[in-house]
Amino acid sequence: MIVVPLGIASATPTSIRHLPSVALWREGSVFLFDCGENSQMCMLQAGLKRSKIDSIFITHFDVDHYSGLMGLISTLQLQRREKELNLIGPKGIKEFVEWNLSFSGVEISFDLNFVEVNDDIDEIRVLDTDDYYVEARPLKHKKFCLGYRFQEKDKPGKVDAAKAEQYGITDDEQFKSLKAGNNLTLEDGTVIESYEIVGHPRPGDSFAYVTDTEYCPNAVKLAMGTNILYHEATFGNQLADKAKETGHSTAADAARVATEAQTKLLVIGHFSARYTNLHLLLKEAREGFYPTWLAHELRPIFTDPSHERGIIEPKVELIDLTKKKPNSGAGNYRGGRPSGGRSGGGRPGGGRPGGHRSGSKNFRPRKSRDGAPSGNRGRYGTSNHDNRGSDRYRQNDGGSYRSNSGGSRDYNNSDRNSRYDDSKPNKSITPRTGYDDFNRF
Ligand SMILES: [Zn+2]
C-alpha cells in the first residue's frame, strides 16, 4: 500500500498547503480519506487516476474536509464512470450528495453506494471484502467525527514449491485448497496437511487515518499495531489550550497515540496555517515517538518500499532541498504549460502569436478523446495571461506566490521579473503537460 498526502492544511488552505485529503493506493485502487477543495487536482499531480477511486471516506462535516467532493463526483460523471463508487461518512452524506445532484440537475451514470454512520455507534465495519475491511470509530471533536482504519486481511502463507513437487501436486485447485487451510487427499490415498506445504499466514498491511480529534482512546484503538498512522497535529505544545478548546491535537498528542498504539510509523498532518516551519511540530512529536514523519503533499509513503517503489510517479517533481541540483542539460527540458498552443482561443483578439515560450517545440498539444487537438478549451477560462500566472505559481512552489499575485499587475508590461521569465526553462521542475489523466497509470 502507498499513502499519498494530497492536502495537509487545516481549516484554510495556504499558498503551499491544500485542504485535507489523503489517498491510499492499494493494488490499483485508490481510497480517498477526506476530500478537501483541490483534492482531485492534487491526485493528478500525484500521478493517481481519478477513475481508480474505489471509495471515499469523509470524517466529518467541517467544510474543509468535504468541499472537494461534489467537484470530484462531477468529474467522474464527465469521465463516464461506470463502476460503483462507495461513499462513506457520518449520517447526512447521502442527503448532501443527492441534494447537490438534484439542485444542479445532474444524473449520475454510476451507482453511489452510501454507507452512513450514526452518531451512537462505537465501532463499525463500513466496508468488508475478501481482501480487506475498513473500520470506523467516533473521535473526540467539536462535532461528530469518524476515524478510519484500513486493514488488509491476513494473506495465506507462501507455498513450498519444492515440497509440492515432491508430492506431485500440480493442479491449481489443489494449491488453492491447501492455501485455504484444507488438507488434501491424493489419488493414492495420502493425506497432505495444509501446513506441510503452506507457510505461516502473512499479516495484512494496515493504515489508520485519525483527524480531527483531541487525544481519545478510540484513536489508539484504530491505530493499534498499524504500519502507518496518519494523525493530525494541528498545534504545537505552546497552543495546547487552543487545541483542547477547538477539539484538535498537538504534535505531542499524536505521538502519545502512536506510542500507545505501537504503530510502526507516525505521519503527522493537518497543520495550522500559523506554522511556516513544520519542523517545530516534528521535533515535538519525535520527543514522544521517534519514528515520525511530516506529511508532505504528493510525497508517497510506502508500507513496503521494496515492492512498491516506482508504481506512482508524481507528475510534479519533488525537490530535495538538502541535495545539490543535478546538472541536467537543457536538452532534457520538455517545455512547459503550452500557453502558446492555446493562443487561438480565450479572449477575443487576445493571445500572443507564437506563444511566449521559446523552448516549446517538444510540446504536444492537448488532445480530446476523439484525437482532435482541443486548443484552448478554457480550463482556466479566459486569458492566456492568467495561465501564465498559474505557471509562475507552480514553478515557484508557492513560496513567492503572494508577492506576485496582485490583481493589478500588468502582465503585458515588459517589466517581468527575470525570475519568472519562463522563456528560460526551469530545469529543476518537470512541468505538467495539459493532458488529463486518461490512459495514464
Ligand atoms: Zn479539520
Crossing angle between the packed helical segments 39-46 and 69-78, to the nearest 10 degrees: 60
Q: Tell me: the pLDDT tens digits for 382-421?
A: 444 444 444 444 444 333 333 443 444 444 444 444 444 5
Give the cell for residue 377: 478549451
State the distance from the centre of ligand 1 to the C-alpha of 228, rounded, in angstroms.
Answer: 20
Name the more confident of 417 and 90: 90
Which residue stretches of 198-261 are H helix? 217-223, 240-246, 251-261
pLDDT at residue 78, as a whole number = 92
Poorest-pLDDT segment among 86-100, 201-215, 418-432: 418-432
Task: Please give the C-alpha separations between residue 161 and each of 179, 189, 192, in angstroms, as whole numbers.
Answer: 12, 21, 14
pLDDT at residue 344, as a whole number = 39
Q: Tell me: the pLDDT tens digits for 367-387?
A: 555 555 444 444 444 444 444
pLDDT at residue 407, as a whole number = 41
DSSP 3-state assignment of 191? strand
Instruction: Report the distance separating Cα 307 and Cα 303, nearest Å.
Output: 9
State the distance from the centre of ligand 1 to the C-alpha of 212, rounded, in angstroms.
Answer: 5
- Same domain assignment for residues 288 and 336: no
State the distance from the centre of ligand 1 to the C-alpha of 271, rounded, in angstroms.
Answer: 9
Instruction: Please give the single-letter amino acid code of residue 303.
Output: T
Task: Please give the C-alpha separations between residue 70 and each of 35, 99, 146, 170, 186, in angstroms, as whole numbers.
Answer: 9, 11, 20, 51, 57
DSSP 3-state assignment of 134? strand
pLDDT band at 83 (very low <50, low <70, confident <90, very high): very high
State the distance from the centre of ligand 1 to the C-alpha of 185, rounded, in angstroms.
Answer: 57
65 conformational bin, left if phi > 0, alpha if psi -120 to 50, beta if neither: alpha
State the distance from the centre of ligand 1 to the C-alpha of 264, rounded, in angstroms.
Answer: 24
Give the cell for residue 392: 509562475
- Same domain assignment for residues 149 and 174: no
Last residue of a domain, one of 175, 197, 219: 197
Instruction: Report the distance separating Cα 440 and Cα 47, nearest Å.
Output: 8
Biggest CA-to-CA distance, the chain: 90
Name the more confident of 153 and 436: 153
DSSP 3-state assignment of 292? strand
- Same domain assignment for residues 246 and 128: yes
Q: Tell me: the pLDDT tens digits for 324-341?
A: 666 554 444 444 444 443
**315, 6 contact by CB (below 8 A):** no
pLDDT at residue 188, as a whole number = 80
Catalytic option among 34, 54, 62, 64: 64
Does the pLDDT of residue 90 top 50, yes or no?
yes
- Same domain assignment for residues 285 and 302: yes
pLDDT at residue 310, as a whole number = 61
Q: Tell me: the pLDDT tens digits for 138-148?
A: 999 999 999 99
pLDDT at residue 318, as a whole number = 67
- Same domain assignment for residues 171 and 149: no
pLDDT at residue 176, as a whole number = 81
Residue 268 sits at the vertex; the CA angle it makes with 264 and 269, to the nearest 5 degrees, is: 145
State the distance from the centre of ligand 1 to the C-alpha of 140, rounded, in angstroms.
Answer: 12
Q: Which domain holds residue 251?
A: 2-155+202-308
State the distance from the centre of ligand 1 to the C-alpha of 60, rounded, in angstroms.
Answer: 9
State the distance from the centre of ligand 1 to the C-alpha of 245, rounded, in angstroms.
Answer: 14
Torsion over CA: 240, 68, 35, 101 (sign): positive
Beta strand 146-152 with 112-117 is unpaired
**23, 1 contact by CB (below 8 A):** no
CB atoms within 10 A of CB 262: 13
Using DSSP, how many helices (H) and how many strands (E) does the chain show?
13, 16
State the distance from the centre of ligand 1 to the C-alpha of 248, rounded, in angstroms.
Answer: 8
- Same domain assignment for residues 76 and 218: yes
Residue 84 inside a domain? The answer is yes
Counting residues of the chain whose pLDDT is more than 90, the rounded percentage is 53
Instruction: Report the distance separating Cα 305 and Cα 106, nearest Å.
Output: 42
Residue 314 inside a domain? The answer is no
pLDDT at residue 423, as a whole number = 53
- Spatial strand order in the sheet of 292-294: 124-128, 132-138, 146-152, 206-210, 228-232, 265-269, 292-294
- Same domain assignment for residues 136 and 184: no
- Phi/psi at 102 (5° precision): -70, -35
Instruction: Report the distance separating Cα 145 and Cα 85, nearest Å.
Output: 21
Residue 149 inside a domain? The answer is yes
Does the pLDDT of residue 20 top 90, yes or no?
yes
State the distance from the centre of ligand 1 to the C-alpha of 58, rounded, in angstroms.
Answer: 11
- Same domain assignment for residues 299 and 206: yes
Instruction: Report the distance separating Cα 270 and Cα 257, nearest Å.
Output: 16
Q: Which helix (H) or strand (E) holds 293?
A: strand 292-294
Q: Tell me: the pLDDT tens digits for 252-308?
A: 999 999 999 999 999 999 999 999 999 999 999 999 999 999 999 998 898 876 665
pLDDT band at 313 (very low <50, low <70, confident <90, very high): low
Name the more confident of 192 and 9: 9
Residue 319 inside a domain? The answer is no
pLDDT at residue 430, as a whole number = 47
CB atoms within 10 A of CB 15: 14
Does the pLDDT of residue 433 top 60, yes or no?
no
- Give the mean pLDDT of 35-50: 93
Instruction: State the residue for C-alpha cell 497535529.
Output: 233
pLDDT at residue 359, as a whole number = 44
CATH of the domain at 91: 3.60.15.10
How much is the mean pLDDT over the chain? 78
pLDDT at residue 363, as a whole number = 53
Counting residues of the chain whose pLDDT is more than 70, the rounded percentage is 70
pLDDT band at 15 (very low <50, low <70, confident <90, very high): confident
- Same domain assignment for residues 52 and 123: yes
Q: Which residues contact 32 (CB under 8 A, 6 or more apart)?
A: 21, 22, 23, 24, 39, 43, 53, 55, 56, 57
Q: How does DSSP classify residue 250?
A: B
Residue 20 inside a domain? The answer is yes
Name the more confident of 368 and 33: 33
- Same domain assignment for residues 246 and 299: yes
Instruction: Report the distance separating Cα 233 and Cα 9, nearest Å.
Output: 10
For the chain, how many structural domains are there in total? 3
Residue 403 inside a domain? The answer is no
Instruction: Report the distance separating Cα 74 and Cα 64, nearest Å.
Output: 18
Q: Is 64 a catalytic residue?
A: yes
Residue 378 inside a domain? The answer is no
- Same domain assignment for residues 187 and 141: no
Instruction: Report the distance separating Cα 8 and Cα 31, nearest Å.
Output: 17
Q: Tell me: the pLDDT tens digits for 227-254?
A: 999 999 999 999 999 999 999 999 999 9
Residue 423 inside a domain? The answer is yes
Instruction: State the residue for C-alpha cell 507457510.
Output: 199
Q: Tell me: the pLDDT tens digits for 179-219?
A: 888 888 887 888 888 888 888 888 899 999 999 899 999 99
pLDDT at residue 332, as a whole number = 44
- Give the mean pLDDT of 4-9: 94
Torsion over CA: 303, 307, 312, 313 (sign): positive
